């Protein structure tokens, strides 16, 4: 079951609600739409995982609980303060950030 619309889109700056959520929880300190910062780009995350409900559940748990080992040794801090609705909005946006096909 696909939760999100399929298709390929170029990386874009987040919309205002998503941008606010990302700033509020300091996500942009480690991630960027189309380049690795400390953590992977949102494009790389989108390209790695299938566009389905299991990905939403997995990424929700990774964001809320933090962890390391998937993208390298630098640990991602837990972001327990993010609400479920905000989390879904961020993950939905991330999953639209596919790299442009050459």
Report pLDDT for 37. 95
The tens digit of pLDDT for each residue in 53-101 reads: 999 999 999 999 998 999 999 999 999 999 999 999 999 999 999 876 6
Q: Which pLDDT value is given to residue 58?
A: 96
Distance, in Å, from the CA atom of 87 to the CA atom of 2, rounded to the nearest integer, reads: 17
Give me 90's structure tokens.
Answer: 């961020």
CA distance 26 to 50: 25
Helices (H), the chain: 16-24, 42-48, 53-65, 84-94
pTM: 0.81
CA 101 vs CA 8, 13, 48: distances in Å:
8, 18, 15
- Domains and their CATH numbers in the chain: 16-94 (1.10.760.10)
């Amino acid at each position: 079951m696909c939760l999100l619309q399929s298709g390929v889109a170029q990386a874009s700056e987040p919309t205002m609600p998503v941008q606010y959520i990302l700033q509020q929880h300091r996500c942009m300190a480690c991630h960027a739409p189309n380049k690795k910062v400390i953590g992977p780009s949102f494009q790389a995350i989108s390209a790695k995982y299938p566009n389905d409900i299991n990905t939403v559940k997995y990424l929700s748990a990774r964001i809320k609980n933090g962890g390391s080992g998937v993208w390298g040794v630098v640990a991602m801090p837990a972001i327990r303060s993010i609400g479920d609705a905000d989390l879904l909005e961020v993950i939905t946006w991330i999953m639209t950030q596919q790299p442009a096909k050459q």
